[in-house]
Amino acid sequence: MNKSVAAHRAGLAVLDCLCMALALFLAYEFRFEFALMGADFRQMVAVLPVYFLVRLIFFRVFHLYSGVLRYAGLTELRATAWAVVGGTVVVALLNGVAVPRLPAVDWLPVHYVTYLEKHPQRLPWSIVCMEAAFTFLLVGTMRLSRRAALSALFSMLNGNHGPAVQRRRVLIVGAGDTGEATARTLQRE
């Protein structure tokens, strides 16, 4: 793999992580009505690496780091939705099955089962659902807005924003990826 392609994909993963962190923060803020307390903030910081790991694995499985963002469209948006749904299912399973079996940690919010037995408090289900929605909106918007910005930039650089230019009509036979790429190239030039 080319070094610039690897750097581009790593940068995209970092942007995705920033979107995920913002999505989790927004979910906590909305859940606690913009009055996030210390223990809940610490819980959010503690689960953030789990969200990063799960989401990045699912984004990789759904090939969100193998395409070219210039051609991002409905297919990539659909793959993002499925990756977010898959990651949310895994997070929900971890939240429902694994967290109640962990020993309590003093600096996290706790749930008292009995007077002596306490466990870490699970994530509220509303946070799990809101985080999924915010992640989809933020990651999807970030990827599609980049395509829109690049299209606008190419349009301005090529002078297609001025008066009408006489163009020839072209018929492209074939509706595959190559036909789409050819059509986009012709539109740009």
Specify the higher pLDDT residue, 121 or 55. 55
pLDDT at position 51: 94
pLDDT digits (tens, 9 = 90+) for 95-110: 888 876 666 666 666 6
Question: Tokens 């946070």 sit at which residue?
Answer: 127
Q: State the chain's mean pLDDT as an integer.
A: 82
Provide the whole-model pTM.
0.74
What phi and psi values does residue 33 have, to the nearest 5 degrees? Answer: 50, 45
Which ranges constitute the DSSP H helices of the chain? Answer: 3-31, 38-61, 74-93, 125-157, 177-188
pLDDT at position 105: 64
pLDDT digits (tens, 9 = 90+) for 99-158: 766 666 666 666 555 455 566 677 889 999 999 999 999 999 998 887 778 777 777 776
CA 62/CA 82 separation, integer angstroms: 8
